[in-house]
Amino acid sequence: SGARVRRAHSKKLPQYQERGLDVKFSDVAGLGKIRLELEEVVKFFTHGEMYRRRGVKIPGGILLCGPPGVGKTLLAKAVAGEAGVNFFSISASQFVEIYVGVGASRVRALYSEAKENAPSVVFIDELDAVGRERGLIKGSGGQERDATLNQLLVCLDGFEGRGEVITIAATNRPDILDPALVRPGRFDRKIYIPKPGFVGRAEILKVHARKKPMAEDVDYMAVASMAVGMVGADLANIIEVAAINMMREGRSEITTDDLLQAAYIEERGTLEKKDRSIDMWKQLALNEASMAVVAVNFPDTKNIEFITISPRAGREMGYVRFKIDYVKFKEGLLSRQSLLDHITVQLAPRAADEIWYGEDKLSTIWAETADNARSAARSFVLGGLSEKHHGLSEFWVADRLNEIDVEALRILNMCYVRAKEILQKNRNLMDAMVNELIEKKNLTKQEFFHLVELHGCLEPLPPSI
């Protein structure tokens, strides 16, 4: 009756509005000077009258340019949040429809909602989906898109200079936008948002840590230095994954280790997926497992953080990550024994191949690490560290070159025998690791040490070579 009639006549709820947003600039970290430019956009709303009185034109559109996940959407929301205005959003890929006229009518609907609820921010994500230069798309799809783009231009022009509806658009490809879009009065202001640097990454981590129970001594710098190439979205995820790890282990605080672990997992998650045969996975698993099993016996390589056989972009193999003492490493303070241990670790894949596949079925998967071992052994001898040749001077003579190689070979053989011994004593551990690696593609520090505890047989003392 009455109620039903009233409901039927009540105003339609805006379709494109996002309500209940409470994003502020303080939620967006690592922006540096870019923040000033966005603060000005806020002033277009809050001090619009002042701009108009002084004859300063308020832009109708702001273009945020940058790769995915750097915080473009978050920034647009923060502008609305700081200005205290409504926020309407759509992804331009939703404009692009096969039916002629649908995209254009969505644009009209979006802007009429924004206008009715002004002041407001209209946010268009992936602008390039519709704003690609005309003529680049052929056929009827192109026609539809032209109609949508034209409608968008009309809407942008309708608000020019008034400061009641400001459009913020995001794109990773400002270079391919239709020139009509970037004409004065439209998206004539471009703001580039790069991937965060080291300090930016640490700041972003801290912003996301605000609402989490962090241990007091968390080393954000260490995590930021691990997270090279990551953007805000990845860093936010690291905090979430670390929190899950904390919960799973029944602790009440997130530690640096949780974060480092999560960073490794995040890195792996961004890897391209690859199809591999089971044999290939097994070889890779054996390769990485052997290095970890040998490394865990030596003081300078025993802090294993992560083992993976997932392919990384640009890298075919997996890797074992040790926590090494970078200060010692950089300053050349590693001991003689420790250098030999490193060589032994590098020879582990070759030894594992021999043990598990046999001399006549050797692969070449260990070629890279064996190369590392060879050059390390040569440097070892050249540096006068081998027991036979103390002091450098006697090596700067050409006819000693052969001697150097012979001595390097002796070192390599000793290390090789040692790697083989360790692996043979740890066949059970190796088999368990290979199986788990094939199944899960990676082992966290905890998982690895759990297996070591179950099956491992560690070297009692570093034998002197």
Segment 64 to 123, residues that bind ligand ADP, using CB under 6 A: 68-74
Segment 8 to 37, residues that bind ligand ADP, using CB under 6 A: 28-30
Site string for ligand ADP, 172-201 (x = CB under 6 A): ------------------------------
232 near ligand ADP, judged by CB under 6 A: yes
- The three-class DSSP label of residue 307 is strand
In our burial notation (b when 16+ CB lie closer than 10 A, e otherwise), range 209-223 reads: beeeebbeebebebb
List, as own/partner pairs, every contact residues 217-220 make where C-beta atoms lie below 8 angstroms and the sequence separation is at least 24, other chains included.
217/256, 218/254, 218/255, 218/256, 218/259, 219/256, 220/259
- What is the spatial distance between Cα 253 and Cα 215, in angstroms, rounded to a whole number? 5
Q: Which residues are paired to 63 by β-bridges? A: 169, 190
| Residues 6+ positions from 323 with CB-CB distance below 8 Å | 303, 304, 305
**Minimum CB separation from ligand ADP for residue 203, in Å?**
8
How many CB atoms are closer than 10 A to CB 338?
Answer: 19
How many CB atoms are closer than 10 A to CB 444?
Answer: 20
Contact range with ligand ADP by CB under 6 A, out of 148-156, 232-240, 289-297, 364-372: 232-240
Q: Out of 203, 267, 288, 436, which one is annotated catalytic?
A: 288
Q: 88 φ, ψ to 5°? A: -120, 140
**Minimum CB separation from ligand ADP for residue 29, in Å?**
4
> Which one, 227 or 296, has the nearer CB to ligand ADP?
227
Residue nearest to ligand ADP (CB): 232
> Which residue's structure tokens are 């600039």?
25
**Minimum CB separation from ligand ADP for residue 288, in Å?**
31
**CA 453 to each of CA 44, 133, 172: distance values in angstroms, whole numbers, following the listed order:** 63, 62, 49
> Which one, 90 or 373, has the nearer CB to ligand ADP?
90
> Which one, 60 or 232, has the nearer CB to ligand ADP?
232
What is the amino acid identity at position 61?
G
**Minimum CB separation from ligand ADP for residue 269, in Å?**
14
- The three-class DSSP label of residue 189 is strand
Strands 189-192 and 61-65: parallel
Site string for ligand ADP, 137-176 (x = CB under 6 A): ---------------------------------x------
H/E run at residue 170:
strand 165-171
Strands 120-125 and 61-65: unpaired
- What is the spatial distance between Cα 61 and Cα 160, in angstroms, rounded to a whole number? 8
82 catalytic? Reply is no
Segment 202 to 231, residues that bind ligand ADP, using CB under 6 A: 204, 207
Q: Is the dihedral of CA 457, 268, 200, 42 positive or negative?
A: negative
Q: Which residues are paired to 214 by β-bridges? A: 254
In our burial notation (b when 16+ CB lie closer than 10 A, e otherwise), range 70-86 reads: bbbbbbbbbbbbbbebb
Q: 460 φ, ψ to 5°? A: -70, -45
Q: List the beta strands (DSSP E) in 323-441.
A: none
Residues binding ligand ADP: what is the number (CB under 6 A)?
16
What is the amino acid identity at position 29?
A
- The three-class DSSP label of residue 30 is coil
Task: State the DSSP code for 282.
Answer: H
The footprint of ligand ADP (CB under 6 A) covers: 28-30, 68-74, 170, 204, 207, 232-233, 236
Residues with a known catalytic role: 288
